[in-house]
Amino acid sequence: MSSTTTLQKAGDPTGNPGDGGLPSDGLKAGLKNRHLSMIAIGGVIGAGLFVGSGGGIAKAGPAILISYALVGAMVVFVMRMLGEMAAASPNSGSFSAYADRALGRWAGFSIGWLYWFFWVVVLAVEATAGAAILENWIPAVPQWAWALIVMAVLTVTNLGSVASYGEFEFWFAGIKVVAIGAFVVIGMLAVFGVLPGSDNPGAGFAHLTDTGGFFPNGYGAVLTGVLMVVFSFMGSEIVTLAAGESENPRKAVTQATNSVIWRIGVFYLGSIFVVLTLLPWNDKSITEKGSYVAALDSIGIANAGTIMEVIVLTAVLSCLNSGLYTASRMAFSLGERGDAPKAFAKVNKNGVPVAAILGSTVFGFVAVYFNYAFKDTVFNFLLNSSGAIALFVWLVICFTQLRMRGILVREAPEKLTVKMWLFPWLTWATAALIMFVIGYMFVDDANREVVTLSCLVAGLVVAVGVVMDLRRKRAAVQG
């Protein structure tokens, strides 16, 4: 009997055992509400916001705000769709498990493994970024050793219990939230010239238009900006995976979904708005030092570079911590559904999927090695072939929700506690926007290789998923 059939018999139309409340799959509800709240807030704040925003500002000027707003709206809509399904049935496999039920086993298999692949590559990227900062502070330890150290420490943390992951992430995310909140408040005081001791002239909103206008590089630069910022939003969906190990999954998912608008508004749009009002968009320091360091320097805050290095390191460690957790839970879910080795679905007495964590970690360590030994060949391929997977995940969530709404209405309408707005029109519009972004990547020189390799890898994984699905169906008929 397939796992999907078994789960349906348990009475949950989305494919989650039991009543969709506390975990009944071996995982333990070790995450407290404060953990989930901070994971939800911190999930949209990646290191990319701190280190990658300068390039977007240089390309689009003040119009990068529109780029952030467009991608932010896309993420809000996707999270609303995912929230609808996750509130009805919290599941450690999240959108992969829902795709399995709504679109077919091949879809759940494909997007689950692609998502796992994305995060294990991210492990190597973030470990290397963190190691570079640590080596700068303590040069006696080589960068590769620092990368292994941070990977090992966070692996041990995840192996302890889900509460250990939650506690570490609570403090990592808390530091990010406090840092950006303080940056926005202090920055806005400086913008209006009321910050005591500030070196900034307090030009108000003049910098948004005084250097070539709001669209200094043309309207098309907004689309280029979209491609540059879209990947810094990846991670919003982590809370829906973690909800399955919380004390009150449905409440946690509902709160996270409802708060995503202000989180993106404050942390992304708010902080970038402050940078653009403190400095002219074409100020060289934005790209040379980084947008946030340049903004802090313009205010006159001493040791701005060191302060930002601490915050970036925190963001890196947070991303590493969450990346390992997310990859392991997706591997666990795939194992449960028979789409990964059965060992991945086993948990220890603490409810921790040890094999899934170690399997994800091993690939992460291998990727770190490739980053140092074969950076321009093997690792470059891994990086490019996983680059567009975030968009594929969001697209699958759209199509899954289109089908899952009908299933929920027929089989468990009382579980529709969170609903996608303007269904199905807004879902279709979001899917169309995502497909437009993917298509635009093919004509953009900087992103053509990334989207091409990502599509090739995705096509290969889908082909494997379809073949496995056909074999299962054939075996069921013969049996």
Instruction: Give the bridge partners for 246, in sequence order.
Output: 31
Q: What's residue 479's pLDDT?
A: 67
pTM for this model (two decimals): 0.90
Burial of 32 (0-12, 13-18, 19+ CB in 10 A): middle
Q: Is 262 exposed, middle or buried (0-12, 13-18, 19+ CB in 10 A)?
A: exposed
Q: Are 203 and 277 in contact (CB under 8 A)?
A: yes
pLDDT value of residue 261: 82
Closest CA relative to residue 101, chosen from 318, 411, 352, 444: 411
DSSP 8-state class, residue 455: H
How far, in Å, CA of 256 to CA of 365, rounded? 32
Q: Residue 21: helix, strand or coil by DSSP?
A: coil
Which sign, positive or negative, has the C-alpha torsion 427, 433, 437, 439? positive
Residues 10-40 pLDDT 10s? 335 444 433 434 444 567 777 877 887 777 7
The residue whose two tokens read 């009150």 is 248
Helices (H), 64-104: 64-88, 94-102
pLDDT tens digit string along 339-397?
Answer: 999 999 999 888 889 999 999 999 888 988 888 888 888 888 888 888 889 899 999 99
CB 77 within 8 Å of CB 257: no
Question: Which tens digits make up the pLDDT trace of 445-463?
Answer: 888 999 999 999 999 999 9
Helices 271-278 and 162-191: crossing angle in degrees, nearest 10, is 30
Contact 228, 56 (CB under 8 A): yes
Residue 168: in which H helix or E strand, if any? Answer: helix 162-191
Alpha helices in 268-388 (DSSP H): 271-278, 284-288, 291-299, 304-336, 354-373, 380-386
Give residue 163's pLDDT. 85
| Torsion, Cα of 38, 41, 46, 48 (10° steps) | -160
Question: What does the pLDDT read at residue 138?
Answer: 94
Rounded Cα distance between 322 and 311, Å, is 16
Q: What is the pLDDT along the chain (479 residues), one digit of tens a residue?
A: 333 333 333 335 444 433 434 444 567 777 877 887 777 777 667 667 777 788 899 999 999 999 999 999 999 999 999 999 998 888 878 899 999 999 999 999 999 999 999 999 888 888 888 898 999 899 999 988 999 999 999 899 889 888 888 888 888 888 888 888 999 999 999 999 898 888 888 888 999 999 999 999 999 899 988 888 887 787 778 888 887 787 777 887 887 777 788 888 888 899 999 999 999 999 999 988 888 889 999 898 888 888 888 988 898 888 888 889 999 999 999 999 999 999 999 998 888 899 999 999 998 889 888 888 888 888 888 888 888 898 999 999 999 999 999 999 999 999 998 899 999 999 999 999 999 999 999 998 888 999 999 999 999 999 999 999 898 888 888 86
Core vs surface per residue 428-463: b (16+ CB within 10 A) or e: eebbebbeebbeebeebeebeebbebbbebbeebbe
CA–CA separation, 430 and 76 (whole Å): 10
